[in-house]
Structure 1
């Protein structure tokens, strides 16, 4: 397939999204992989977090990395060296066209703005999808992928590995067992952004590195000249490509109370953001960059016998009030953030992925009788997140994964 010029990229993607086409690899049924077979996996975006996702899925050769794709050759160096026999592509559309008979599943680890079109293209071919967090660039895309996973009957998993962690299940058990009574408020905070936000679009003229296909990197995003201020990783702070601190880390932190409190869709969201001043009383607003800090109030309705809940999200250095139950020398949460559940009979504090859950004051932990997890643990916990998906792919559509799109979307 010839490389499409940029002016037809969005058009072609939209047309493909409306159709259906598949050449199944196996004749035993759509999306079926015999349990004795190795799962043949293609990596779309093979640098950064993919350097964890792909090896964990490959599992020392128990399964097969069958094809690789990255728009930047520099990001693909390690993967190409590790799996030298895997065909390498720069354009995911070319990979899917040429390798569709040779792959069963894809692991997508690309900037947020490309998640939806890449995942949808793979699902339309009947390929199972592991999609790095956040699931998509906006809510509409998330709902589209959720419906597509059901329509094309494929196994899915979002890459918020903490959803497979032991601590997440332990917090879920404690909260639902009433250890701290009824929970009506929960605080969640992160140390992100650790990349620029609340800044103007950078200026300057730069040559595109020879290893990078900038046109393919932009994909469905608006046309813009190359600037090293956008990549790698720092695209997270730009609204055309990333989802800011809340989108990037909420998938990890909020997942714990989402499960423990059986939350669904909120009924209202209100956000206060930090200001940027470029001079005395000269406030600047940069719409193309997410704000430097925010506090977001999210209201959830009652769920069965559970009361309404207010969740408050903090980022950019913002934190909740320090609980009176904490001693001066005791740390609130962890260095990268934390979670505090406020119950009618006590408080529970935990870190990222629900790590180190503890009652407040900490002295209560010594005498408290706490229930063991009521939920089945995932083998190897958060490190088993990718393998859980691989095993589910071999079982076929309907097999359980911790963060399938019906939950993460």
Structure 2
């Protein structure tokens, strides 16, 4: 199937008569209330684990599995021998659209929307790994399609199904530590190489890899082992850096508990590299080794909230009230909520919320639990999606929620790119460089409703998606 014809067909499908799967008509399959028939894309690596978790619900059968790397996906292919195997997602669409109820996408970030959107337009339920998309525009589109088609959706940020985020939300909504003014979040990422000045030279493509399919909508470049597996996260064309990798896990806690919505401002500063006597933070193609991002939100319950993000070994200030034996976060990161009457800290994935001991006799009374828990907590994130598809249960991270969360995370990346862009233009000498006072520190003003940067026009090109010719999404 030619790519041009594929795009046309997928758009037409969204308005065409919906073909009922054979199992609904009394075919050889069991009733749809008992089994969810799925196709998986990006089934090696992280995708293998997601497929396993979904399969372990006892209610999922895989009709087709798709991966561009036969070697990396071999274990998955061997585990589900009855599923049809593909390297081109378009063939799955062309041959199995009538046979499936839902899809799972765990490819690199830049392929999430390219694969998910056609199936979503055909009314297929969708489980997509975090971050939901590669760009803000794609996140907005997938949020819109999910609503229009009335499908069940879930992003792979498992912490949204945890008890921890519900406990933190109950405490904050009850005013236990008063109004929140600031939240500090951080991660131990990147745990992959980051901060390259330019793309590496080409290498021979492994026989087991379909490199053109792996690139998908990204601008063509020669293959190099510096990109995969997993290392693609540090390259802007494919990934979204440390913030994109863990932001949907860690920022999820304040996003849900404080009902943050679209940020109004974003600002960043990143690792600076010196080349001779000149500043050369030349990461135009790659994410920086470390960064600090500051996001500002306007909320109904708390007013203005400043959210600060730290990665690459940079950490927030330790609260002076932290006592002997107490910790903030865990090895993967965490969040610190600063309230008028106390401080709440959480670990990665919203786990282990706690009030610093210094404030225990100063805060309000803890409320009784009232938010519905997800059976199995984080492991239940997958069964929650399956239950939503089969029985109409409300999922914990539907795209109506996950889309705006992803947009907030990617807004931070816009600020990082703006920093890089300004530094590249600066031409500053070492003696003239002041990292706390230069044009790159300018705040980005964001009109979330209209999806526009209002004070830095250059940044708007990063809001939208650029697709390689023949791989257009039809936005």
TM over 0.5: yes
- Deviation of 1:60 after TM superposition, in Å, equals 6.0
Looking at structure 1, the residues matched to 361 and 380 of structure 2 have their Cα atoms a distance apart, in angstroms, of 28
Residue 407 of structure 1: SS of its match in structure 2? helix
Structure 1 position 336 matched with structure 2 position 329 = no
Match of 1:348 in 2: 344
Q: Does the 8 Å CA contact 1:24/1:126 hold for their aligned counterparts?
A: no
Looking at structure 2, the residues matched to 326 and 16 of structure 1 have their Cα atoms a distance apart, in angstroms, of 59
Match of 2:379 in 1: 383
Q: How does 1:106-125 map to 2 (within 5 A)?
A: 106-125=103-122
Q: Does the 8 Å CA contact 2:155/2:402 hold for their aligned counterparts?
A: yes
Moved more, 142-151 or 192-201: 192-201
Looking at structure 2, the residues matched to 95 and 277 of structure 1 have their Cα atoms a distance apart, in angstroms, of 48
Taking only aligned residues, the RMSD between alpha carbons, in angstroms, comes to: 2.2
Match of 1:19 in 2: 12
Looking at structure 2, the residues matched to 68 and 375 of structure 1 have their Cα atoms a distance apart, in angstroms, of 36
Question: What stretches of structure 2 of length at least 5 have no aligned partner?
Answer: 404-475
- Deviation of 1:405 after TM superposition, in Å, equals 0.5
Structure 1 position 62 matched with structure 2 position 55 = no
Q: Does the 8 Å CA contact 2:343/2:359 hold for their aligned counterparts?
A: no
Q: How does 1:202-351 map to 2 (within 5 A)?
A: 202-303=199-300, 305-327=301-323, 329-351=325-347
Structure 1 position 190 matched with structure 2 position 183 = no
Q: What number of residue pairs does the alignment pair up?
A: 396
- Deviation of 1:390 after TM superposition, in Å, equals 0.7
Moved more, 159-168 or 193-202: 193-202
Moved more, 188-197 or 364-373: 364-373
- Deviation of 1:18 after TM superposition, in Å, equals 3.6
- Deviation of 1:318 after TM superposition, in Å, equals 1.4
Match of 2:395 in 1: 401
Give the one of 136, 140, 145 matched to 1:139.
136
- Deviation of 1:302 after TM superposition, in Å, equals 2.9
Moved more, 213-222 or 307-316: 307-316
Moved more, 379-388 or 327-336: 327-336
Q: Does the 8 Å CA contact 2:57/2:383 hold for their aligned counterparts?
A: no
Residue 194 of structure 2: SS of its match in structure 1? coil
Q: Does the 8 Å CA contact 1:275/1:292 hold for their aligned counterparts?
A: no
Give the one of 161, 170, 174 matched to 1:173.
170
Measured at CA, do residues 240 and 17 of structure 1 come closer, stay the same or move farther in structure 2, by a change above 3 Å? farther
Q: How does 1:369-380 map to 2 (within 5 A)?
A: 369-380=365-376
- Deviation of 1:346 after TM superposition, in Å, equals 0.5
Measured at CA, do residues 137 and 365 of structure 1 come closer, stay the same or move farther in structure 2, by a change above 3 Å? farther
Measured at CA, do residues 297 and 366 of structure 1 come closer, stay the same or move farther in structure 2, by a change above 3 Å? closer
Structure 1 position 53 matched with structure 2 position 79 = no
- Deviation of 1:280 after TM superposition, in Å, equals 4.9
Looking at structure 2, the residues matched to 153 and 27 of structure 1 have their Cα atoms a distance apart, in angstroms, of 21
Deviations 1:317-371 (A, max 9, x none): 1111110011355333211111000000000111112211111136839998532
Q: Does the 8 Å CA contact 1:266/1:301 hold for their aligned counterparts?
A: yes
Q: Does the 8 Å CA contact 2:336/2:343 hold for their aligned counterparts?
A: yes
Residue 227 of structure 1: SS of its match in structure 2? coil
TM-score normalized by the length of structure 2: 0.79
Q: Does the 8 Å CA contact 2:40/2:103 hold for their aligned counterparts?
A: yes
Q: How does 1:83-102 map to 2 (within 5 A)?
A: 83-102=80-99
Looking at structure 2, the residues matched to 78 and 350 of structure 1 have their Cα atoms a distance apart, in angstroms, of 35
Looking at structure 2, the residues matched to 362 and 18 of structure 1 have their Cα atoms a distance apart, in angstroms, of 58
TM-score normalized by the length of structure 1: 0.91
Residue 163 of structure 1: SS of its match in structure 2? helix
Looking at structure 1, the residues matched to 39 and 334 of structure 2 have their Cα atoms a distance apart, in angstroms, of 35
Match of 2:423 in 1: none
Question: What stretches of structure 1 of length at least 5 have no aligned partner?
Answer: none
Q: How does 1:156-171 map to 2 (within 5 A)?
A: 156-171=153-168
Looking at structure 2, the residues matched to 183 and 73 of structure 1 have their Cα atoms a distance apart, in angstroms, of 49
Residue 250 of structure 1: SS of its match in structure 2? helix
- Deviation of 1:279 after TM superposition, in Å, equals 3.9
Looking at structure 2, the residues matched to 28 and 384 of structure 1 have their Cα atoms a distance apart, in angstroms, of 27
Q: Does the 8 Å CA contact 1:198/1:276 hold for their aligned counterparts?
A: no
